[in-house]
Amino acid sequence: MSFAQMKKSAGNFSKLAEQLEKTSSPSTQNSGEDNRFWKPEVDKAGNGYAVIRFLPAPEGEDIPWVRLWDHGFQGPGGWYIENSLTTLNKPDPVSEYNSKLWNSGVEANKEIVRKQKRRLKYIANIYVVSDPKHPENEGKVFLYQFGKKIFDKINEAMNPAFEDETPINPFDFWSGANFKLKIRQVEGYRNYDKSEFDSSTQLLDSDDDMEGIWKTEYSLQEFLDPKNFKSYEQLQARLNKVLGLTGGVASAVDAVEDTASYEAPASADTTAKRPTAESVNVDSEDDTLSYFAQLAEED
């Protein structure tokens, strides 16, 4: 789609709404220190504020976001930090293992699953309108990684619940809306409930300026490139090592069901010295994979 075609179709987002429904229905790439990614900064109290604008799909692509799944958990054999093959709609050994544990009906098994379940994240291109902590980012295009809470707000903007609310396409240059990102610290976690879309407005006055922004967007489909995912066999081998599944997944699940008292594995000196995802101030809407990866490198 050319920029002119995009402008002509502005305001008509039926196809995007269909994709939104598919994405929201039940059915990665690690940003790490990638400087293409923007992250909001908070103060010592855990509060933060910024204004961003979600951008249309980059040139040559149809959807302005990608959805990815990953895993990050620790076992006696180290850390399991991997993209999930379920992102590509393929079987994944961790998901299969978790399913068997959950279906065992043993509550202890379900607790294991909760600690090593998939993590959902989305990636989109954004334009930074206001970044009080880092004004040098303003007027620039970045990739932004976010979680379900923010994606739900996008969904609500496109599919409002009340008749007096007008649906908008947050990704549209001309009739979209700025997103006021409001971060609070609630019970030890970042909370985005007060974040909201502003009224609909054109991003910039000039089409030429907006086209320039569009042409600097980053590819999103690259995050779905199979090269970013290990094979099923490689993931299975890593899972076996991390959890000590010497007899394989099936044997391990059988053993758990027999004892009905299995607890999530942990190194003897790890729980006292190494933080878990639950015990640190990690943004639940941002990528925690880089945090886990850093810990894994220290092993």
Q: What is the rounded distance in angstroms from the CA atom of residue 267 to the CA atom of residue 61?
A: 45
* Domain ranges (residues) in the chain: 1-299
Closest by alpha carbon to 143, among 40, 39, 50, 37?
A: 37
Average pLDDT over residues 234-259: 72
Q: Is 31's pLDDT higher than 80? A: no
* Backbone φ and ψ of 282, nearest 5°: -105, 135
Q: Is 137's pLDDT higher than 70? A: yes
Average pLDDT over residues 245-264: 49
Q: Is 86's pLDDT higher than 50? A: yes
More confident residue, 98 or 299: 98
pLDDT of residue 248: 54
pLDDT of residue 112: 95
Contact of 284 with 66, CB cutoff 8 Å: no
Closest by alpha carbon to 225, among 100, 61, 74?
A: 61
Contact of 25 with 19, CB cutoff 8 Å: no
pLDDT of residue 46: 94
pLDDT of residue 278: 38
Contact of 274 with 295, CB cutoff 8 Å: yes
| Domain 1-299, classified CATH 3.40.50.150, yes or no | no
pLDDT of residue 10: 76
Contact of 55 with 169, CB cutoff 8 Å: no
* Range with the poorest average pLDDT among 85-94, 153-162, 221-230, 280-289: 280-289
pLDDT of residue 253: 54
pLDDT of residue 274: 42
More confident residue, 288 or 137: 137
Contact of 252 with 243, CB cutoff 8 Å: yes
Encode pLDDT of 35-70 as tens digits: 999 999 999 999 999 999 999 999 999 999 999 999
pLDDT of residue 247: 60
Tell me the average pLDDT of the chain. Answer: 83
How many percent of the chain have pLDDT more than 70?
76
Q: What is the rounded distance in angstroms from the CA atom of residue 197 to the CA atom of residue 87?
A: 28
More confident residue, 291 or 92: 92
**pLDDT band (50, 70, 90) for residue 269:** very low
* Range with the poorest average pLDDT among 181-185, 198-202, 225-229, 261-265: 261-265
